[in-house]
Amino acid sequence: MEEFQIIENYLMVRLPEEVDHHRADYICRKADRYLLDQKVEHIVFDFEDTRFMDSSGIGIILGRYRKISCFGGKVYAIHVDKKVERMFRMAGLNKIVEVLA
Amino acid sequence: MNSEKNEMELSFDAVSENESFARVAVAAFVTHINPTLEEIDDVKTAVSEAVTNAIIHGYENYRGYVKGGEGERPVPVHQGKVYVRCRLEGDVLHIEVQDQGKGIADIARAMEPMYTSRPELDRSGMGFSFMEAFMDDLEVESRPAAGTIVRMTKKLGSTSWIACGE
Ligand SMILES: Nc1ncnc2c1ncn2[C@@H]1O[C@H](COP(=O)(O)OP(=O)(O)OP(=O)(O)O)[C@@H](O)[C@H]1O
Ligand SMILES: [Mg+2]
């Protein structure tokens, strides 16, 4: 199950086991609500639980990046495994997101 | 060479909760030929891409799940079925994902990396690129207002002991 948490000016999003369109739609809308209502500047996506991801995961990150980067916000991705990292690289996300294994 | 043939066919409603069902079903279909874990992941991602495209773009059911009690329900529902057909010929997997939805007017453009017709839906335009990268072969047939068929092929078990020798 996805989880949202605010630590200082960071929104922490713990992604679910399967990051697909079915789950991504809700995560995008919920994250955007936090970005609007709370004073968060940066986002951290935690892939610790994630065992499956498709292009919907790229969309979650790219979409949030577009919303916060113009205000100087940064996007981080943590606990990223090889599979997810390969997809990040193919989409060019590693250039705009701070990726940590 | 193993030339055993095996086929299966699924049809299901074009709703987002069936995305995981489709990729898990295809993965289960090929387990007996002992593909590597990487190959299974690749196939699951490719199936997920094609099926999600059928649901979001073909039938325009773009809403995913909604948590109860928040007063929101998915906007859809355009009725429609997604068809997934798989054929194993020896260790080569053929997958066909079909919808009878909107269709694609410009296939070449749709297949360009980072091209999406729906950026407002948080799509990234990487679906076809992932299908192409994770499978050996990808073909798209589509007609506006008639629907789309995506055909993909992948040789499995390529690094296992079964594949070498004989
Ligand atoms: N089954 C389909 N029916 C109609 N249009 C489609 C279908 N599949 C793909 N398309 C069109 O092709 C485009 C590119 O597809 P692709 O999967 O590469 O990207 P996307 O779905 O837009 O984004 P992503 O897959 O990264 O979430 C889509 O934006 C859509 O316009
Ligand atoms: Mg897609």
* CATH number of the structural domain spanning residue A60: 3.30.750.24
- The residues spanned by each domain of chain B are 5-165
Of the candidates B52, B60, B49, B63, the residue with the CA atom closest to the CA atom of residue B126? B49
d(CA A53, CA A18): 6
The mean pLDDT of B107-135, rounded to a whole number, is 96
d(CA B116, CA B59): 16
**Does any CB of chain B come closer than 8 Å to the CB of residue A18?**
yes
Which residue shows structure tokens 């296992």? Answer: B160
pLDDT reported for residue B74: 57
Average predicted confidence (pLDDT) for chain B: 90
B73, B3 Cβ separation under 8 angstroms? no
pLDDT reported for residue A81: 95
Amino acid occupying residue B94: H
Say whether B48 sits in a helix, a strand or coil: helix
**Ligand 1 and B115: CB distance under 6 A:** yes
**Ligand 1 and B135: CB distance under 6 A:** no
Q: How far is residue B66 CA from its own chain's centroid?
A: 23
Domain extent for A24:
4-100
Catalytic residues of B: 49, 53, 123
A53 contacts in B (CB within 8 Å)? 45
B30, B135 Cβ separation under 8 angstroms? no
pLDDT reported for residue B93: 98
pLDDT 10s digits, B21-41 = 999 999 999 999 999 999 999
The mean pLDDT of B102-109, rounded to a whole number, is 98
Question: By CA distance, what is B37's nearest residue in A?
Answer: A83
CATH of span B5-165: 3.30.565.10
Backbone φ and ψ of B106, nearest 5°: -120, 95
pLDDT reported for residue A41: 93
Which pTM does this prediction carry? 0.94
Query: Which is it for strands A3-7 and A10-14: parallel, antiparallel or unpaired?
Result: antiparallel
pLDDT above 70: residue B2: no
CA of B122, closest atom in ligand 1: 27
pLDDT 10s digits, A30-46 = 999 999 888 899 999 99
DSSP code at position B165 = -
pLDDT reported for residue B77: 72
pLDDT above 90: residue A5: yes
Total number of domains constituting chain A? 1
pLDDT reported for residue B73: 52
pLDDT reported for residue B44: 98
pLDDT above 90: residue B69: no
